[in-house]
Amino acid sequence: MNTRRQFVKRSTLGMAGLGTSFLFPMELLASIRKTVSPNDKIQVGLIGCKGMGFSDLSSLLQNSEVEVVALCDVDENVLREKTAELEKGGIKKPKWYSDYRKLLEDKDIDIVIIGTPDHWHCLQLTDAIDAGKDVYCEKPIANSVAESEAMLAKVIASDRMVQIGQWQRSEPHFVDAISYVHSGKLGQIRLVKAWAYQGWMQSVPVLPNSPVPSGVDYAMWLGPAQSRPFNENRFHFNFRWFWDYAGGLMTDWGVHMIDYALFGMKASDPKSVMAMGGKFAYPGDAAETPDTLQTIYDFGDFSLLWEHATGIDGGNYGRNHGVAFIGNNGTLVLDRGGWEVIPEHDRPHWSKDLGPKIEPVPLQKGIGQGLGLHTKNFLEAVKTRDASILKAPIKVGYDAAVVSHLGNVAYKTGERLFWDAENKKFNNPKADALLMNEYHNGWKFPKMG
CA distance 57 to 378: 12
**Amino acid found at 406:** L
Could you give the C-alpha distances from 252 to 34, 56, 404, 405, in angstroms and in order?
36, 16, 9, 11
Give me the pLDDT at residue 25, please.
Answer: 81
Ordered by start, the domain boundaries in the chain are: 2-169+372-394, 171-366+398-432
* Region 227-250 average pLDDT: 96
Is the Cα dihedral 68, 70, 74, 75 positive or negative?
Answer: positive
Select from 1.10.10.10, 2.60.40.10, 3.30.450.40, 3.40.50.720 the CATH code of 2-169+372-394.
3.40.50.720
Contacts of 280-285 with CB under 8 Å at 24 or more apart are 281/203, 281/309, 281/310, 281/311, 281/312, 282/203, 282/204, 282/310, 282/311, 284/206, 285/203, 285/204, 285/205, 285/206
Reply yes or no on whether the pLDDT at 21 is more than 50: no
| Cα 399 off chain centre by | 12
Could you give the C-alpha distances from 78 to 71, 137, 219, 236, 400, in angstroms and in order?
10, 19, 17, 10, 30
Burial class (CB in 10 A: 0-12, 13-18, 19+), 263: buried
Instruction: Give me the half-sphere count of Cα atoms (radius 13 Å) on the Cβ side of residue 15.
Output: 17
Which residue has better confidence, 27 or 60?
A: 60
CA distance 93 to 433: 45
pLDDT tens by residue, 198-218: 999 989 999 999 999 999 999
Helix, strand or coil for residue 320? coil
Question: According to the 3-state scheme, what is the secondary structure of 40-74?
Answer: HCEEEEEECCCCHHHHHHHHHHCCCCEEEEEEECC
Which superfamily does CATH assign the domain made up of 171-366+398-432 to?
Dihydrodipicolinate Reductase; domain 2 (3.30.360.10)
What is the residue-averaged pLDDT of the chain?
A: 93
pLDDT tens by residue, 69-114: 999 999 999 999 999 999 999 999 999 999 999 999 999 999 999 9
Reply yes or no on whether the pLDDT at 16 is more than 80: no
Do 171-366+398-432 and 2-169+372-394 have the same topology in CATH? no
Which DSSP state fits 102?
H
CA distance 71 to 77: 12
Dihedral pair phi/psi, residue 87, rounded to 5°: -65, -30
**Cis status, amide bond into 140, omega within 30 of 0:** yes
pLDDT tens by residue, 259-286: 999 999 999 999 999 999 999 999 999 9
Q: Which of 91-100, 192-201, 239-248, 347-356 has the lowest mean pLDDT?
A: 347-356
Structure confidence at residue 152 as a pLDDT band (50, 70, 90): very high
**Amino acid found at 132:** G
- The percentage of residues in the chain with a pLDDT greater than 70, rounded to a whole number, is 95
Reply yes or no on whether the pLDDT at 449 is more than 60: no
Give me the pLDDT at residue 22, please.
Answer: 64
